[in-house]
Structure 1
Amino acid sequence: MAESTIWWLLAGGAVALELATGTFYLLMLAVGLVAAAIAAHLGLDLTGQMLVAAVVGGGAVVLWHWKRSKEPKPVHAQANTDVQMDIGETVHVAQWNADATANVKYRGSQWSVVLADNDGTPEPGLFKVRELHGNRLVVAKL
């Protein structure tokens, strides 16, 4: 069996494993294996093929990791508008309790409300829902 065929089979195996696990890093390593197969087609010796696979695959992994580190961190689920439909909605707080909580009628039922950290003193008025903690709405003054 030709060396290039082995590289192609390894690349196909890496892609199949990536599809089973869902990690993009295996796809980057598969790119390195494809580069090694092309190097084998061009007549490079086995050491050169391995070097090409390591440099291209490893470089692709490093570049992908660097790119991902530059992206903003995802918002946790309690404050993510894709997960919680209540984020950004407005509630009216008529009266705050002594422990800085309140009860409001929202979406047809009673909800416990707590003021977001460092958002001043609790005063009655309109508030925007920032996140949910269990069955409590964390709100901020509009």
Structure 2
Amino acid sequence: MIPIVLSTLFVYALLGFFGVAINVVTVIIVNTCIGIGIDYAIHFTAGYLFLRGRYAARRDALAATARIKGAVIMFNTLVVGIGFLVLAFSSFSPVRDLGLFVFVSMAASSTFSLMFLPVLFSLFGIRAPGVRRPAA
């Protein structure tokens, strides 16, 4: 949740800094940012839960997840982001804003997810749903 909130605030800050008015397109941008952030968080978390069973140490599982899933998330950001970035060449300013700021929001979401999720998982841990802790 923290990476999603940070990337959303970052996009809103950029929209305000560049003087982009709040309209239907900017709402779409922020909603897309939230959706993409959720996708990246789920992708990273699922990868971690899968690899956690293969490694004895949490740190090793996080390192493997960051290495494997981090590359996949960054590749997705690059490929899909470039697809949206093409819209930045439009002569219609709302479409241009959509393309540019969705690209920026994707970059922010992937960066914040890859920066904060490993830290949060290493500090607080995470368990697969339905897995109980042994009785003390």
Higher fraction of strand:
1
Which structure exhibits the higher relative contact order, with contacts defined as CA atoms closer than 8 Å and separated by 6 or more residues? 2
TM-score of the superposed pair, with normalisation by structure 1: 0.34
Higher fraction of helix:
2
